[in-house]
């Protein structure tokens, strides 16, 4: 169309038509954009999203119910009372380097960490309970794990030998003893190529943890991470150098009754000095069995395998032992120890015993004879 031959009236009419078409296009674009926005809002509406400022009051309320309201709730969730928990928070901040985040306090981080250890809670369960993201839960767990391990010099107990004037029947024969040594299995998950190394005699995949505890069930030494196929280092005693030129261990007699169940019920009493020594040795060594029983009873993460790597799991085991010592130090009464009776071991197929040196064997024979003479003179 030649616009030059259009009259003024025709030109105005054409301009109005073009404006109307342009307006229709704009309306169509607006409706398309608005419809796309509504569809996105509908899809996002299926997942409830909270702004952090809206979640903080609920987080604080949930945390207060655990760490401030009641000792019984705090012990059930975190395995320690309120006073012990708040003291642990201060220690992890002052010595362990644990810091408060912009939206998460050190108390909440430590509460999540202890909750995972105590009940073997999964990341997805903790993030729902504490209304946090899975990434935040994982970060808090690793931060607390590093902080607890930095407290090792403070929590690991320095062993003290049994004194010469000891009167307790369980310990008076083992003067100079530092504690009991034993091993226990902790189930773990490892890659397929490593499973033969971690397979125990019973076919389980586990790591062998070597532990030493004192007479008060406090751990003085922990060595996690041995392959489950490694022999279990049980039935030894550590003593100081007061009776020898160096340190060593006092092992029981081979070929004689040893386990506590052998002396209970209708079983006959010791009939020779070797059996008498083994009985007293087993009663004293039972503290490490009780210590491991308390440790696994307190921390659910040690009772079943988890998805953590072997390296991280070793650090978790060490952290559990350290917090175990802290709880027994800070709390007047250990709630788990109150109901724990003397443990009686199930007799294994065979006993792994490493014979002590000739010097220690001579001392063991002299000690066994002294026990037998004292019993005969009663």
Query: Strand ranges (DSSP E) for 109-175?
Result: none
- Nearest one of 198, 193, 185, 211 to 302, comparing CA atoms: 185
What's the pLDDT at 9? 67
Question: Which residues have C-beta within 8 Å of that of residue 113, sequence separation ≥ 6?
Answer: 140, 141, 144, 145, 148
Is residue 186 packed enough to be buried (19+ CB in 10 Å), middle (13-18) or exposed (0-12)? buried
What's the pLDDT at 238? 47
Query: Tokens at residue 208, please?
Result: 């062998």
Task: Fill in the DSSP letter of residue 224.
Answer: E
What's the per-residue H, E or C state across 2-64?
Answer: CHHHCCHHHHHHHHHHHHHHHHHHHHHHHHHHHHHHHHHHHHHHCCCCCCHHHHHHHHHHHHH
- Nearest one of 55, 70, 113 to 88, comparing CA atoms: 113
What's the pLDDT at 245? 33
Measured distance between the N- and C-terminal CA atoms of the chain, rounded to whole angstroms: 133
With vertex at residue 270, the alpha carbon angle to CA 264 and CA 273, rounded to the nearest 5 degrees, is 145
What's the pLDDT at 356? 61
Rounded Cα gap, residues 309 and 316, in angstroms = 10
3-state secondary structure of 213: strand
Query: Tokens at residue 372, please?
Result: 């037998």
What's the pLDDT at 4? 53
Rounded Cα gap, residues 207 and 227, in angstroms = 5
Check: CB of residue 209 under 8 Å from CB of residue 168.
Answer: no
Q: pTM for this one?
A: 0.78
Phi, psi of 106 (to 5 degrees): -65, -35
Phi, psi of 355 (to 5 degrees): -70, 140
Query: Tokens at residue 239, please?
Result: 């003593």
What's the pLDDT at 231? 53
Task: Fill in the DSSP letter of residue 340.
Answer: P
Tell me the mean pLDDT per 10 residues along the chain, length 378: 56 70 77 75 55 64 87 93 96 95 92 96 91 92 97 93 87 88 90 87 89 93 77 46 50 81 76 88 88 94 90 95 96 77 44 62 87 84
- Neighbour tally for 312: CB within 10 Å: 15
What's the pLDDT at 335? 78
Rounded Cα gap, residues 229 and 193, in angstroms = 14
Check: CB of residue 170 under 8 Å from CB of residue 285.
Answer: no
Rounded Cα gap, residues 119 and 334, in angstroms = 18
Helix (H) or strand (E) holding 178: strand 177-187
Spatial strand order of the sheet with 206-213 comes to 219-227, 206-213, 177-187, 236-239, 248-249
How many residues can be counted in the chain? 378
Check: CB of residue 362 under 8 Å from CB of residue 356.
Answer: no
């Amino acid at each position: 169309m030649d616009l030059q031959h259009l009259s003024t009236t025709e030109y105005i009419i054409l301009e109005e038509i073009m404006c109307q078409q342009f307006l229709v296009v704009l309306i169509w674009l607006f409706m398309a954009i608005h419809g796309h926005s509504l569809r996105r809002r509908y899809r996002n509406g299926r997942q409830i999203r909270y702004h952090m400022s809206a979640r903080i009051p609920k987080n604080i309320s949930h945390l207060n119910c655990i760490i401030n309201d009641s000792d019984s709730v705090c012990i059930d969730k975190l395995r320690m009372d309120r006073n012990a928990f708040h003291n642990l928070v201060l220690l992890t901040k002052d010595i362990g380097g644990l810091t408060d985040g912009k939206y998460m306090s050190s108390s909440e981080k430590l509460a999540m960490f202890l909750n995972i250890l105590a009940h073997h809670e999964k990341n997805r369960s903790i993030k729902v309970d504490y209304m946090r993201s899975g990434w935040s839960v994982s970060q808090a767990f690793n931060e607390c794990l590093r902080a607890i391990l930095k407290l090792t010099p403070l929590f690991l107990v320095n062993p003290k030998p049994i004194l010469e004037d000891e009167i307790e029947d369980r310990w008076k024969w083992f003067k100079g003893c530092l504690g009991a040594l034993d091993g226990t299995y902790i189930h773990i998950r490892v890659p397929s190529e490593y499973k033969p190394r971690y397979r125990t005699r019973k076919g389980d995949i586990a790591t062998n943890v070597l532990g030493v505890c004192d007479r008060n069930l406090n751990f003085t030494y922990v060595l996690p991470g041995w392959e489950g196929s490694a022999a279990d280092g049980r039935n030894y005693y550590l003593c100081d150098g007061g009776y020898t030129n160096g340190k060593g261990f006092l092992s029981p007699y081979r070929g004689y009754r040893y386990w506590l169940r052998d002396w209970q019920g209708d079983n006959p009493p010791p009939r020779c000095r070797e059996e008498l020594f083994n009985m007293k040795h087993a009663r004293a060594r039972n503290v490490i069995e009780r210590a491991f029983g308390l440790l696994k009873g307190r921390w659910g993460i040690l009772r079943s395998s988890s998805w953590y790597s072997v390296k991280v799991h070793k650090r978790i085991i060490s952290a559990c032992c350290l917090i175990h010592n802290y709880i027994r130090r800070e709390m007047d009464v250990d709630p788990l120890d109150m109901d724990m009776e003397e443990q009686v071991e199930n007799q294994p197929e065979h006993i792994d015993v490493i014979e002590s040196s000739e010097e220690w064997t001579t001392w063991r024979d002299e000690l066994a004879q002294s026990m037998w003479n004292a019993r005969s003179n009663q």
